[in-house]
Structure 1
């Protein structure tokens, strides 16, 4: 078993779980580039209902994300994941069989009820060693980003060939494939990672909601996904108006997404190496706000739209990639699962509000109203983000402990916090676990382990 790389079990867990997560997100994202064009064909259509159909999954995801994670801790990861996928598949079938906008909204809401993100991440943590866990989580994150790119490319192609119902039937087929992967490819977990690192704990949520730095991140991810969902109410129509046929939209999205990745990577490197992460983060929000404002003012010619879409996705991808990393450093030791649960719920709630608000704005104020209001929301986010504190470099660790009493654990915690390289320490005697944030260049891991296991 390599100490520096993933072993065979971890590789299998990483790629199978990442594929399951990616397939599910692909099914959710494919509607974005096509629904503004095909939605008006449904009975009962109105701009408000169109927005609700795009964002409905976000509300049920936000409400059920934390409870499903907690249930997975009680009843097992795989049973809860499979149950969630079944619900997701039923929702896809309901949407596929609907010829009214109301049926599609119901189906999308049911898709969101299969809220398995927390359970998948918890299973990934169970199947990996502490030092290899970030690599597995990064693999899952990469597949989520890839699924978004693929959705923008193949969504219009599938819908052009098979219609909107065909898109939802394709999503149901992807869900069956994901269920087969869970049942036959994903390893069974024999251990559980420390609870506080991967599953939300109800008694911690109230304090984390009011944590000043975490609050800024939660507002940020809410705003980012609100903007994304609201923009896709009109963006496909703008491309049609510019003369680009729906089935050719991938010819714009694909190079624009790749171009945005090339643009964002240098800024990520500068932010990390030059300790300018806060400035780069604020700059990305400013770029997002500027792009949204330009969308509302500039004419719908293809060249302008290509430039603006590249700018939009450069800002979006940078912010989407960096916020979880910042969260992992800001979250207090031992409550990362709870912090991530609130963060994920904020993300999905933003998607719902973006759909609902975007639909309402388009009904009352038209295309420019949507982009102007979203630009103002991005400016408000920028002002909030400027209050973020610079974070010292640290990594999160969890260690088993062997203390005879609560008092002995408290004494050890007092000694720990005064040791070189220990940024934060939380000892949970009832779980026999210690959650630490360490500067691993200064901390003596062997000395820490000796203290925790007297």
Structure 2
């Protein structure tokens, strides 16, 4: 990667991680610090309607249902606006969309920081989520990196998100005990302003901005992606994974405080070791899955382990030891699934619709955030922790059954080549010729982008012949 590509990739990875910070910093502390706040009339009416569906009268005191709705509305806004704002960035430019999203995120954080009840926190969270700039960031990253380095740039983004999650989970309890919930919202607002300055000063302006099939959603390919049964299984999986995660963190902070007797400021005593064990054991599992063509087996095993952890929490979560055991199993499975699902998507999705497939995947992930948090709060207030854990187990159980029908992904990777005009004179014929080469499983030539996407075996594909057909003497 060139210095400009490294600068752009590192800067945008940090910016993407900041977007997730609005979720992750609040995840382990929101229930604890928001539970005693009063509920506004509008949100109270919505919750009463939700309870009426259960034939249940809300209890006085802590309103966990309101907390779940206030937290989950962020994901709902993200799911609704991610793809449209990404497409808007194709029309008006990447940076204007990013600047606007960060500014809205800052305003939403300030509204939540100044809130005196949960209803205004929910409004602030809605505004935070409205700044849905993830797709625009990905598109800008594609503008600033060459095709052959884009996978590395995307990997930097993925790594920054994982690091943000781990750091937030450990740091948030101590941070909240120091500056409170409103202080965390003020911190997110300040970071959003800093990010605006960073985009202006650090992120280069692209010399040419255009559509990238591997990084952006194409409305014309949306129908075929939604009809793809293999992708549907993966989309349900990311929905279930994050719905269960949000529901779990409605109950887990309360269990650590009330059942295990651990003060909120010391919850990181549990989060740090279980996250570390989960990460260490994730690495060999992913390596085995990728290098030995055992990705489906590793993936299915992780879903099964997640199901065991959820059922274990439902059966027994009455001591610090039991919480630590089930949470360790949970994070081993969670880390493996977070690492392997995008890899399987890239192998399963059509070469010219990878960006569309990832856009749908990210949208269903955000829907999982919203549904899991909202239903988790309602179920907890209705019947305590047990219904929440059973709900999570049901989601994961359905996922396990769906994954049984997942076809083992081929050991392939995507190669991208920039072509000159001479190679694009008959793109259909070139694609057919490339497909006939040894080790090439799929080839798509997109004349509008001037790019060839090849899905090839990890070893044994005829790279030299492919380059000759495309008029290339070396890798771009």
Q: Scaled by the length of structure 2, what TM-score is found?
A: 0.90
- Equivalent in the alignment of 1:48: 65
Q: 2:185 aligns with which of 162, 168, 172?
A: 168
1:163-216, CA deviations, whole angstroms, 9 ceiling, x for partnerless residues?
221111111011112112111111222244762111111111111011011111
Counterpart Cα distance in 2 of 1:195 and 1:395: 18
Note if contact 2:170-2:268 (Cα within 8 Å) is conserved in structure 1: yes
- Equivalent in the alignment of 1:346: 364
Q: 1:413 to 1:403 in 2, by over 3 A?
A: farther
Output aligned runs, 1:114-263, within 5 Å: 114-192=131-209, 195-241=212-258, 242-263=260-281
Q: 1:372 aligns with which of 390, 406, 418?
A: 390
- Equivalent in the alignment of 1:313: 331
Unaligned runs of 5+ in 2: 40-61
Q: Secondary structure at the match of 1:388?
A: coil
Q: 1:430 to 1:20 in 2, by over 3 A?
A: closer
1:42-94, CA deviations, whole angstroms, 9 ceiling, x for partnerless residues?
11162221111221111111111111111112222222111111111111111
- Equivalent in the alignment of 1:3: none
Q: 2:378 aligns with which of 357, 360, 370?
A: 360
- Equivalent in the alignment of 2:320: 302
Q: 2:429 aligns with which of 411, 414, 421?
A: 411
- Equivalent in the alignment of 1:451: 469
Aligned length: 449
Note if contact 1:398-1:433 (Cα within 8 Å) is conserved in structure 2: yes
Instruction: Give the superposed CA RMSD.
Output: 1.9
1:113 aligns with 2:130: yes
Counterpart Cα distance in 2 of 1:334 and 1:265: 30
Cα drift, residue 416 of structure 1: 2.0
- Equivalent in the alignment of 1:271: 289
1:398-440, CA deviations, whole angstroms, 9 ceiling, x for partnerless residues?
3344568998322222222212222112223344433221236
Q: 1:173 to 1:327 in 2, by over 3 A?
A: same
Task: Identify the range of structure 1 (344-353 vs 403-412) with the bigger mean alpha-carbon deviation.
Answer: 403-412
Note if contact 2:427-2:445 (Cα within 8 Å) is conserved in structure 1: yes
Counterpart Cα distance in 1 of 2:16 and 2:335: 18
Q: 2:408 aligns with which of 367, 390, 393?
A: 390
Q: 1:437 to 1:39 in 2, by over 3 A?
A: same
Note if contact 2:90-2:211 (Cα within 8 Å) is conserved in structure 1: no
Note if contact 1:216-1:385 (Cα within 8 Å) is conserved in structure 2: yes
1:38 aligns with 2:43: no
- Equivalent in the alignment of 1:27: 22
Counterpart Cα distance in 1 of 2:240 and 2:216: 24
Note if contact 2:423-2:470 (Cα within 8 Å) is conserved in structure 1: no
- Equivalent in the alignment of 1:283: 301
Q: 2:86 aligns with which of 65, 69, 74?
A: 69
1:324 aligns with 2:342: yes
